[in-house]
Structure formats: C-alpha cells, structure tokens
Amino acid sequence: MVQTQPVQVHIPFKKLASELDAIIEARINPEIYLDGDYLANADTLVLDEIRKRLDEYNLRVTMHGPYMGTSPGSPDEQRRISTVEVYRTALRAAAHLRPVNIVLHAGYNEDRYNGDIDWWLHQSMKTWGEVVKEAEDIGVTIAAENIFEKNPFPLRTLSETVGSPRFGICIDTGHLNIFSEIPLEEWFVSIAEHVKEVHIHDNNGSSDEHLPIGEGNIDFTTLFKALKENSPEALLTIEPHGDDAIRRGLKAIHEFL
C-alpha cells in the first residue's frame, strides 16, 4: 500500500534499514525507533546514508528514542543520570538523522511519586535542562510522551517550566485510553499549545494493544475533532504493530484527514 497521507509510521530502526527500498517505494514517512542496544554502537555512516536516501524522496523523518529503563524525573539520582546519558546518546543519533521531532518519555507516575508533582518536576528539570539545550543546538524538537499520567497537568507544568520552543508534548492515544481519568478530548483543550505530536493507535482500554483505528473502543471522531480545533499543527504518527496492521492503520486514518 502506498502512503498518501501526511502522517508518520512508527518503524524500528532494524526494520527500516533492512527494508528501506520498500519503505521508500511505499512513500512512508518513518518515525524511526532506535532502542538503547542499537544506540550503544550506532554506525553514524549508516545513519547518514539512510537520511540521504530519505531526503532524495522528500520523506519526513521523526524519531522515537529509547524508553526501557529510563526515568528523567527519578528520585534515584543514579537512574536519572543514566537517563540523561541515554537521551543524549539518542540526540547524537538525531544529529545525523535530522528528525523534526524526537519522542522521549516524560516518566510521571502518580502512584510512584505519591502524587508529589513538585518533587518529580524538580528532578525532571535537572534532566531536561541538559537535554533540551542539546536539542536546541542541533535543531530538533523533543516531544515528551505520556504513559501513566491520569490527567494533563504534570505534562503541561513540565512544558511550561522548560519554556523552550524545542520542547513540547506527544499525546499517545492508546496510553490515554488506559490511564486517563478525564475525557481524551480534554487533554487537547488543556495542553493545546504544547502538543507537538500525537501517537495514533487503538485498544480496548485494558492493555496497550497498538491496534489500528477502529479496532478498539477509542472515539476517534471526537478525538480528531478536538485535535483539529486545538492542535492542528501537531504531527500524527500511527503506531500499530506489524506490517498488516500498518496497512490497516494507514487506510483507517485516511478517513479522518
């Protein structure tokens, strides 16, 4: 299936590298996921060549950094420092891939922090102060993604406190459907000016199934209306898992664009 919609498609780096010709032929704009294992030994010449090939076909690139084990606002200082190193390594790769956005996880969990947003924010700012400066230097925008957040207040506060045009929020629709305690559309109203990207995938509200639109119970008609009214410039990325699910996801999102 040829992609005709101006959306990104989440693709792990190994798959992108091995199927680059097919991805280019399908006119897919990739959101390249680089995990920690690859980044530890990333071949910058390979990254440069991939970016060159994608540029030749005017394909837009975004990037998703590592998330396993990361915690930018961790009360454990060693874990926070290790997160900084992971994020900085991801940004070094971004300097070669030159994505519009790089998605990194914000890491707030109300239960883990006993609702103490101030402590999480204090620790987070030590991390983002370093990382955002590096993003500004290379010209990439960080989009901090929600996971366990029950409402948009922590992420809005974080984005306002960072106060950089190179920092904003990535709203993940699947995570909202599982963890949010307020209607999905209220997120877009609350943090409209901070939303840089939206991850589009469906589920049935109990697990992170990464289904195409329409195969779970998310009300995407209402969600896309709220998105259009509040954050119309946000980049859209579909995140269904598997080749067939990607085809179904591209077909399904076309109805809303």
Q: What would the pLDDT profile of 76-107 be if each residue is shown by its tens digit?
A: 999 999 999 999 999 999 999 999 999 999 99
CATH no., domain 8-254: 3.20.20.150
Residue 74 has what pLDDT? 95
Examine the pLDDT at 148 and tell me if it is beyond 90: yes
- 141 beta partners: 101
Over the chain, what is the mean pLDDT?
Answer: 94
Q: What is the pTM of this model?
A: 0.95
Q: Are strands 195-200 and 141-145 parallel, antiparallel or unpaired?
A: unpaired
Place of tokens 């690859």: 38
pLDDT digits (tens, 9 = 90+) for 212-237: 999 999 999 999 999 999 999 999 99
- 122-139: b (≥16 Cβ within 10 Å) or e: ebbbebbeebbebbeeee
Examine the pLDDT at 3 and tell me if it is beyond 80: no
Residue 214 has what pLDDT? 95
Examine the pLDDT at 135 and tell me if it is beyond 80: yes
Residues 99-128, mean pLDDT to the nearest whole number: 95
pLDDT digits (tens, 9 = 90+) for 149-195: 999 999 999 999 999 999 999 999 999 999 999 999 999 999 999 99
Residue 187 has what pLDDT? 95
Tokens of 243: 């080749």
Query: How buried is 164 (Cβ within 10 angstroms: 0-12 exposed, 13-18 middle, 19+ buried)?
Result: middle
Confidence of residue 255 (pLDDT cuts 50, 70, 90): confident
